[in-house]
């Protein structure tokens, strides 16, 4: 029996009087999910955290879901078999949806190699809330970076089903943004993401956070 078939008929959704729109108005910006996808070593986590820093400086409420961090808690019970990978992304998608309702800009950094998994997360959310950001980086550059030594181990056959080596990565067909992380500087990558957020009306104003 899968997770979806375990739902009780006695569970009823409770509607809060404090709506998403009221939370967004209080926060001074709209909420959204920025889904950073790409190969290991493409710079997803680095870019997500750099964008979060920039958003903080203009007074936005944010949270980053990092692939490794999530597996220390929310998904600590999951391995890396195909079914576990699907469930890992499903959980992150559901959690991100809750953060949207909280009026927060959620940033996720996951390889999420399969289009079907990413599209499943997109389908959870209202149109325009899921912003897929493809961190395009050549496999050669990713292997050169290899800060965790994973590619070397994968090439040696020590890691099975490693994305880019023994398991495929399916590039997004029509992402909201493509960032060439092997060509642009980190500052240029951040600027592209921030411009997209302003163009889409998610970030309303520019300025300095009151905490600084």
**Phi first, then psi: what are they for 152, rounded to 5°?**
-60, -45
The reply to whether 112 belongs to the active site is yes
Residue 144's SS3 state is helix
Q: What's the CA gap between 158 and 122, in Å, rounded?
A: 33
Record the pTM: 0.85
CA atoms within 13 A on the CB side of 74: 16
Q: Which residue has the tokens 């493509």?
A: 178
Return the closest-CA partner of residue 47 out of 200, 156, 164, 196: 196
Instruction: Tell me the pLDDT of the chain (212 aa) as tens digits.
Output: 454 545 556 666 556 788 989 999 999 999 999 999 999 999 999 999 999 999 999 999 999 988 666 666 667 777 777 787 888 888 889 999 999 999 999 999 999 999 999 999 999 998 899 999 999 999 999 999 987 899 999 999 998 888 999 889 999 999 999 999 999 999 999 999 999 999 999 997 654 444 44
Q: Which residue has the tokens 């994305």?
A: 163
Domains in the chain (CATH in brackets) are: 19-199 (3.40.50.300)
Catalytic residue chosen out of the listed positions 31, 40, 45, 112:
112
């Amino acid at each position: 029996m899968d997770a979806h078939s375990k739902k009780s008929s006695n569970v009823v959704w409770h509607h809060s009087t404090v709506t998403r729109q009221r939370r967004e108005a209080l926060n001074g910006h709209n909420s959204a999910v920025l889904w950073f996808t790409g190969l290991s070593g493409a710079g997803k986590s680095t870019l997500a955290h750099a964008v979060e820093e920039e958003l903080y400086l203009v007074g936005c409420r944010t949270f980053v879901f990092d692939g490794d961090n999530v597996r220390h808690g929310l998904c600590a019970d999951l391995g890396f078999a195909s079914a576990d990978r699907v469930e890992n992304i499903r959980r992150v998608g559901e959690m991100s949806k809750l953060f949207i309702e909280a009026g927060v800009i959620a940033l996720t950094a996951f390889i999420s190699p399969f289009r079907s998994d990413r599209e499943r997360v997109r389908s959870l959310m209202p149109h325009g809330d899921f912003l897929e950001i493809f961190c395009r980086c050549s496999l050669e550059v990713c292997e050169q970076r290899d800060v965790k030594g994973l590619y070397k181990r994968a090439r040696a056959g020590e890691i099975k089903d490693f994305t880019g080596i023994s398991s495929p990565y399916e590039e997004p067909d029509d992402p909201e943004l493509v960032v060439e992380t092997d060509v642009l500087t980190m500052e240029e990558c951040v600027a592209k993401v921030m411009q997209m957020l302003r163009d889409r009306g998610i970030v309303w104003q520019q300025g300095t956070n009151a905490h600084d």
